[in-house]
Amino acid sequence: MSITLYTSRICPWAHRAHIALAELGLDFKEVTIDLMKPREPWYLEINPRGLVPSLKYNDEIITESSIVATFLAELKENHLVPFPGTPEAALKRAKINFFVDTYFTKAQPLIQSALVTTDMAAKARYANECVDVIEKQLAPLLADAKPFFGGSSRLTLAEVLTASFVVRLYTYAKPGVDFFPQEAIEMIRKIGNWQKWADALLAHESVMAIYVEEDVVRALKIKLAQMAAAAAQK
């Protein structure tokens, strides 16, 4: 088995693959793609969309982060996700899928909107709406976390697919970074089920192994500046 991961460590989508690979203990070759530059022709031959991650498994190319992570989780029996074939496994997979879907359709769009707006009133509104989603829709789904999803003592596919974004949320609200309102993150910290789960993510080696906060913040500052410059030209 030969695995090559084409990645950028500043990208939360690519971060998913790193978490999965770490949890599964799989050896792989890492090839860094510079997201600050136009994609080189050789990489566009691998992934015409130019996105990361891309995974080369033996001679096959797999793209899109959720597909890459799920593929890795299904290579062999493991703790991330139950193998299919039983009603119990199907139910656990459905619960994982629902949690991940709720996060990315309800919470993450609000976080993204709060990050990119320069209107402070709008930023506060998006952040407060995010707090409401976490409290009313996500935290109840973590009621049985021990400390991870579904009563698991180890990471599951739910964490593989969401942890990189959750980690960044807490970074974005730090004093001196201030991409996300500190008042909102303090309210989030008071949501018991959620915060216990988030604390476990922030302390987990597989989640944090490649995460360099300064690099992530620097990259987002550049991206936001580019977006502001593009908007000013319209």
**Predicted confidence pLDDT, tens digits, the chain (234 residues):** 899 999 999 999 999 999 999 999 999 999 999 999 999 999 999 999 999 999 999 999 999 999 999 999 999 899 999 988 899 999 999 999 999 999 999 999 999 999 999 999 999 999 999 999 999 999 999 999 999 999 999 999 999 999 999 999 999 999 999 999 999 999 999 999 999 999 999 999 999 999 999 999 999 999 999 888 887 887
Contacts of 137 (CB under 8 A, 6+ apart): 102, 106, 107
Cα distances (angstroms) measured from residue 27 to each of 3, 75, 109, 130, 206: 7, 13, 34, 37, 14
Cα distances (angstroms) measured from residue 148 to each of 108, 145, 231: 20, 5, 41
What are the φ/ψ torsions at residue 107 (nearest 5 degrees)? -90, -50
What is the Cα–Cα distance from 61 to 145, expressed in whole angstroms? 34
Longest CA–CA span in the chain (Å) reads 56
What is the Cα–Cα distance from 188 to 170, expressed in whole angstroms? 10
**Which among 186, 159, 191, 190 is positioned nearest to 173, based on CA atoms?**
186
The C-alpha angle with vertex 159 and arms to 169 and 8, in degrees rounded to 5, equals 65
- Report the topology of domain 87-232: Glutathione S-transferase Yfyf (Class Pi); Chain A, domain 2 (1.20.1050)
Q: What is the pLDDT of residue 1?
A: 85
Q: What is the pLDDT of residue 230?
A: 81
Structural domain boundaries in the chain: 3-73, 87-232
**Superfamily for the 3-73 domain:** Glutaredoxin (3.40.30.10)
The C-alpha angle with vertex 194 and arms to 188 and 200, in degrees rounded to 5, equals 115
Q: What is the pLDDT of residue 104?
A: 98
